């Protein structure tokens, strides 16, 4: 990145962090159904949380939320920007010796940015249930909401090591599908658009739930924002129509 671009993106990033206290900005996390994860220059940006850090208490404690959002999600955004800059520099200098390493890093960091951005909006402190097209498709693809809940819970609880349980819309088969993702980027299906993601990395639960990932996943079902999941499905259908 040259100095002019660096200054420009630095200005945009600080503008974004100044705006992070604005509710209007916080509610405006998507554009035409796509999460806004980059600024106008293509640099990755950490959007504000859509609520206060204590909003999901007692199921998700404020300290975990603070550390998770600031350092794990925030760290992934910083990492993705670094990876991208190094790849661009390698291209500029025509020196591709280590570019495979940075390409892998970018996949890891950017996938973390995508999943965490979705995760925050997937949670709320007002209990609700699937409705509309989401409800119809859950019944069609899984038989019932209870059967889907059992499937996504078992999938999330049993991730080997760090990863995610994911419900996604798969446009190639026009169906909902459940994925068990390792790290942030492994075991996906190409094309799948995540609509509900469950973070089962230890950083997501260890302070409050210690080694009891099962308890954490069960507790999360009290704070899943199925209205957001339904909205995400509608957006995915619109985007891929």
**Interface contacts to Mn ion, rule CB under 5 A:** 72, 199, 201
DSSP-assigned letter for residue 42: S
Percent helix, percent strand, percent coil in the chain, to nearest 5: 55, 15, 35
CB-wise, 130 or 163, nearer to Mn ion? Answer: 163
CB-wise, 179 or 230, nearer to Mn ion? Answer: 179
In which region does residue 183 sit, left (phi positive, over 0), alpha (psi from -120 to 50) or beta (all else)?
Answer: left
CB of 27 to Mn ion, least distance (A): 23
CB of 187 to Mn ion, least distance (A): 16
CB of 164 to Mn ion, least distance (A): 8
CB-wise, 8 or 208, nearer to Mn ion? Answer: 208
CB-wise, 148 or 197, nearer to Mn ion? Answer: 197
Distance CA 207, CA 16 (A): 29
CA terminus-to-terminus distance, the chain: 37
CB of 137 to Mn ion, least distance (A): 27
In which region does residue 44 sit, left (phi positive, over 0), alpha (psi from -120 to 50) or beta (all else)?
Answer: beta
CB of 68 to Mn ion, least distance (A): 6
Contact present, 159 and 181 (Cβ < 8 Å)? yes
CB-wise, 137 or 184, nearer to Mn ion? Answer: 184
Distance CA 234, CA 76 (A): 28
Contact present, 138 and 176 (Cβ < 8 Å)? yes
């Amino acid at each position: 990145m040259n100095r002019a671009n660096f200054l420009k993106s630095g200005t945009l990033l600080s503008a974004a962090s100044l705006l992070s206290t604005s509710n209007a900005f916080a509610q405006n996390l998507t554009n035409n159904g796509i999460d806004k994860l980059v600024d106008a220059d293509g640099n990755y940006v950490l959007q504000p949380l859509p609520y206060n850090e204590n909003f999901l208490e007692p199921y998700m404690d404020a300290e975990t939320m603070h550390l998770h959002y600031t350092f794990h999600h925030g760290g992934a955004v910083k990492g993705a920007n670094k990876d991208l800059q190094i790849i661009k520099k390698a291209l500029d200098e025509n020196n591709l010796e280590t570019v495979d390493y940075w390409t892998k890093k970018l996949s890891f960091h950017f996938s973390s940015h995508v999943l965490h951005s979705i995760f925050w909006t997937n949670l709320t402190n007002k209990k609700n249930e699937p409705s509309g097209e989401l409800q119809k498709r859950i019944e069609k693809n899984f038989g019932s909401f209870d059967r889907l809940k059992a499937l996504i819970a078992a999938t999330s609880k049993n991730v080997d090591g760090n990863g995610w349980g994911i419900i996604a819309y798969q446009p190639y088969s026009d169906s909902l599908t459940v994925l068990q993702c390792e790290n942030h980027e492994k075991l996906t299906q190409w094309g799948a658009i995540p609509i509900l993601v469950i973070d089962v990395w230890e950083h997501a639960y260890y302070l409050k739930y210690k080694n009891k990932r099962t308890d954490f996943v069960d507790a999360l079902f009290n704070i899943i924002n199925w209205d957001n999941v339904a909205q995400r499905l509608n957006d995915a259908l619109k985007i891929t129509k």
